[in-house]
A and B are shown apart, each in its own frame.
Chain A
Amino acid sequence: MWNASTEPNAYAVDLVAWDFTRGKHGCASEFPYPTEHTRWGLAGTANTMTFVHIDSDGFNTFLKIVCGMKVWGVYKEKLPATLSSTNAFLHPSFHLNAVDETTRFDLEAVVLKPGNLL
């Protein structure tokens, strides 16, 4: 989104990373922040759905609803475990295309509406 905010704040480490990257070889200091790769708008019709996935490039995501509603569901490990484990996503019960009862993950969902920011 051309008008997305790129104001520095307490949690936008992408802006910090960009600040450190600029001026290095292959990334001239006058390059603008790549807004088109990190901030975009989505328009979906009724019943539009995206199945379970790991979000873009492993980045975390923030999302603001402009109009309509959207159900946002997340996997949550039943037992506290660290994602630094190499087995975090290698367990046989971890599926992205199905949610069976053997999975070690719980699911939670929240309905997002205008005025919500996830």
Chain B
Amino acid sequence: MTALPHQTSMDTDESSPVGVTTQRSGGRSATPPDAEESGSGSHEVDQMDVDENSYWQSVDHRRKEAIGKSSQETKGVSLEVGCESGPGEETMDEGKLQGDEGRSETESVELPATKAIGKRRSTRLYVHHKDNLPRPQLKTSQATSEQSRKRPRSKAKSKEEVEIEEERDSLPGGESADNPIDVDLYASLWQPVGLKEFVRAIIFSCQRYILTSFVKVEGDEITFKMGKIPRKMPSEKPMRAFDAEGNQVTFTPCFHVCPPLYTTLMAYMLILQHNVYNTRVTQFFERIEAGYVDGKPLHIVAMERSAFEIVQYENFQKMAHRELQDLLRRKIVVLTEVPHDSTMAFDERGLRTLSPLKSRVSIQGMCYAGNSHNFYPPIKCAFRLFCPANEGTPLHSNCYKGPRQRYPSKC
């Protein structure tokens, strides 16, 4: 759960439905893969209290229905472009289109029948930008365009907002009828988008004023500036825990709380944020220490009452299958003396054991504690990975874009 201070950690975290223990379990049932991908369609599937066969039958039926409709189309399909989409990311939900023209924040365009990619019923398609690709000329629906032009503005836009809109419209697939989305220009959500293209798209958008203070772009190279590492604050008191052999480990965790912003208000927020993390971690270890017997954890002094069962690797190998499965029902097994490479370190060679260094990886973290709507998660989260210490050269890597709901709804 926690990597100890002055220790970087690498591990292989692997999940498998290996029975159920009394300590942890999950309540989420497996969802058919098709339902996972289908966005709003998955809601329908979740409500179906049917067995597997009837589920797949319904999927087949929907597919045939969609194919039949597509073949009957002569002109094309209508796509809705919601203005909630952030730069470089749009949502197309064909299932919501019909009879929805009255919405004030939508534009409708007609695409040739060959563009019927999003034709599957109730399918929410998340797409990403591919920069520098030609944008096809598409005919717009005049009726809806005129309707939208006559729509009264709720308030006058500032100069900055106008600039932002112009920049946004200059990207392929903006949020107006004159600059429609072409689904062929986008990669699917499941295809990772390189950090380079991603950062460029953001820098060209309204976030540039913030991001350029963190990100440096030189030609094809994108790095994170070293002078902006978020501050860390140590916990108020050291924590202690014991390993499987009973050795005590004492450490003082530190928390990223805020980048070095400059106002008194932010300094006040910094202290509040630190208290939140400090309280949580302190509570966590206080509850752990409350269960100690004579200052030692249960897995050392009274293993029969402990959630953990410490087993030597050799003994584990000799256990009968039934004995092993019975043990796993009741306990969390911690093996010791497992053969391993003791020379492994947190370096290039060590990282290579986890993943090829040029592969795209997802990055998680909470190294920025400010308003989460100010930053795109992969950028702020990449910070920690790229700047693992206050010195050295930042690593170059790529990252996935996060789920849409984690992005700001407006620029």
Interface residues of A (CB under 8 A from B): 1-2, 4, 10-15, 17, 25-26, 38-52, 54-77, 80, 83, 88-89, 97-101, 103, 106-118
Total count of chain B residues near the partner, CB < 8 A:
86
* B132 at interface, CB cutoff 8 A: no
* B340 at interface, CB cutoff 8 A: yes
Closest to A41 in B: B354
Q: Kindly state the separation between the CA atoms of A77 and B19 in the bound complex, as whole angstroms.
A: 18
Report B-chain residues with C-beta under 8 Å of the C-beta of A113: 243-244
Q: Kindly state the separation between the CA atoms of A110 and B34 in the bound complex, as whole angstroms.
A: 39
Q: Are B321 and A10 in contact (CB under 8 A)?
A: yes
* B88 at interface, CB cutoff 8 A: no
Q: Are B26 and A76 in contact (CB under 8 A)?
A: no
Interface residues of B (CB under 8 A from A): 1-28, 30, 32-34, 56, 59, 232, 241-244, 247, 249, 253-255, 280-281, 283-285, 287-288, 290-291, 297-299, 306-308, 313, 321, 324-325, 328, 332-338, 340, 342, 344-346, 350-351, 353-355, 365, 384-385, 388-389
Given A13-B18, A60-B21, A40 and B12 contact (CB-CB distance below 8 Å): yes
Given A44-B10, A62-B14, A70-B1, A109 and B241 contact (CB-CB distance below 8 Å): yes
Report B-chain residues with C-beta under 8 Å of the C-beta of A43: 8-10, 346, 351, 354, 385
Q: Are B10 and A67 in contact (CB under 8 A)?
A: yes
Interface of B is mostly: mixed
Given A46-B6, A109-B241, A118-B333, A60 and B13 contact (CB-CB distance below 8 Å): no
Closest to A25 in B: B56
Closest to A103 in B: B287
- Interface pairs A-B: 4 shortest CB-CB: A58-B26, A41-B354, A68-B9, A14-B16
Closest to A70 in B: B9
In-complex Cβ contact of B244 among A66, A67, A110 (8 A): A110
Report A-chain residues with C-beta under 8 Å of the C-beta of B337: 115
